[in-house]
Amino acid sequence: MSVRREFDVLIAGGGMVGAALAALLAGGERTRPLRVGLVEPQPALPPLPADPLELRVSALSRAAERLLVSVGAWSLVERRRPCAYERMLVWDGASAPAGAETLSFDAAEAGEPNLGHIVENRVVAAALIERALALGVTLLRSPVTALELAPDVARASVGGRTVTAGLVVAADGADSPLRQLAGLGGDGEVYPAEAIVTHLRPELPHGGAARQRFLATGPLGILPLADGRVSIVWSTTPAEAARLVALDDAGFAAAVTAASDGALGALAVSAPRVRFPLRRFNAASYAATRLVLVGDAAHTVHPLAGQGVNQGFLDVLALAEELGRALAEGGDPGDPRALGRYARARRADNALMGAALDALFRLFTDQRAAVRRGRRLGLALVNRAAPLKRLLIDRALGAP
């Protein structure tokens, strides 16, 4: 006997990843008939034109951009002038910023106009929610507080009532209450590191390049912004992060200029500083009865390569593909075979990315002399090995 359900797919969490899934399902050729609900207690609003640039920005790959274009959200993001980056420069703390040991990726080498864009997280989430609503998604502005997963239906408590669905998608971020309600564990650790995030004004033009310098305490990422400033993600020990955030503006500007080895001349403070704890996690399974995990709810990685939300968007594409297939075959969206295929494929890919980033973090913070020599040589070699470099560029562009 078939059970009446209010939604075919109920997505819990309208951050960048959940909102992308909602828009993609509602606009997709095969998935359009699905009734989609999006549960988000604090939906992102687009900033006003005079609002300053948000502190939380992400490097979006070309693959992520294509996803946003396909649901009509990219043109909304473009209104806020996302900054295209055309080059990536990576160097070790012991090398010179523009020496032979600097690994450089160029969009032109890949025949692409750029390697991606630096965007404000809030702008992306707001654009995707706007498109999802325009495409017929129902927004519920309360959190999911309880979950019951049965073979024939999923029940979620939202704003004091029970909502029924064929499939619940947990897109509720790294602390994922839904993952916990479903009893899905995983493998991870809190890094002995925190990231300081802020925007700075450089003395020299950033030239549309994303830079990363690996210091003994962790990587310093410097991303270009459209207004000429740069956004930094400076990963260091929690004690050092606390000290740096407490410095006065002149002290912090001097510290970050030294940490960047003067690659952009003197850096001047132009925004508040915030600290983020860093962790890695991969859920043991991305699927349970009538539930799947996507985005940070399923996996978190060190931000050193700007991969987190890009991996989440790849989850969204894979899940939409499986749901489209299940629907075309007359199945229901909670079909365990479709969910299993999604879960296995994405978990394996995210595990690979997580392990690679974890290894990079450990390799570059290892201060033994032989390791330091080896990695400088490694960067220089990768720089000259065309096929390996091509592979890395493809990955940066967002190829799964």
Q: Does 314 help bind ligand FAD (rule: CB under 6 A)?
A: no
Q: Does 38 help bind ligand FAD (rule: CB under 6 A)?
A: no
Residue by residue, DSSP assigns 257-281 as: HHHTTTBTB-EEE-S--EEEEEEEE
With contacts defined by CB under 6 A, name the span among 28-36, 87-95, 170-178, 384-392 that binds ligand FAD: 170-178
With contacts defined by CB under 6 A, name the span among 75-83, 169-177, 251-259, 280-288 that binds ligand FAD: 169-177
Q: Does 144 help bind ligand FAD (rule: CB under 6 A)?
A: yes
Q: Which of 303, 324, 354, 398 is close enough to bind ligand FAD by CB under 6 A?
A: 303
Q: What DSSP element (H or E) covers 63?
A: helix 62-70
CB 38 within 8 A of CB 137: yes
Q: Which of 27, 82, 219, 312 is close enough to bind ligand FAD by CB under 6 A?
A: 312
Q: Does 296 help bind ligand FAD (rule: CB under 6 A)?
A: yes
Q: Does 233 help bind ligand FAD (rule: CB under 6 A)?
A: yes
Question: What's the half-sphere exposure (Cβ side, CA atoms, 13 Å) at 188?
Answer: 23
- Pick between residue 58 and residue 365 the one whose CB is nearest to ligand FAD: 58
How far apart (Å, rounded) are the C-alpha atoms in residues 311 and 223?
19
- Pick between residue 132 and residue 309 the one whose CB is nearest to ligand FAD: 309
Q: Which of 306, 324, 333, 334 is close enough to bind ligand FAD by CB under 6 A?
A: 306
Amino acid residing at 369 = A
What burial class does residue 348 get, using C-beta atoms within 10 Å of its C-beta: 0-12 exposed, 13-18 middle, 19+ buried?
Answer: exposed
The DSSP letter of residue 304 is G
Q: Does 350 help bind ligand FAD (rule: CB under 6 A)?
A: no
The SS3 of residue 30 is coil
Identify residues 183-202 at the interface with ligand FAD (CB under 6 A).
Answer: 195, 197
Each as own residue / partner, the long-range contacts of residues 379-387 (CB below 8 Å, 24 or more positions apart, any chain) are: 379/90, 379/91, 379/92, 379/95, 379/101, 379/102, 379/103, 380/100, 380/101, 380/103, 382/103, 383/100, 383/101, 383/102, 383/103, 383/104
Count, residues in the chain: 400
Size of the site for ligand FAD (CB under 6 A): 33
Residue number of the CB closest to ligand FAD reads 15
Q: Which of 7, 13, 38, 327 is close enough to bind ligand FAD by CB under 6 A?
A: 13
CB 124 within 8 A of CB 73: yes
With contacts defined by CB under 6 A, name the span among 33-41, 72-80, 320-328, 358-366 that binds ligand FAD: 33-41
Q: Does 68 help bind ligand FAD (rule: CB under 6 A)?
A: no
The residues of the shown chain that bind ligand FAD, judged by CB under 6 A, are: 12-18, 39-42, 58-59, 121, 143-144, 171-173, 177, 195, 197, 233, 276, 295-296, 303, 306-310, 312
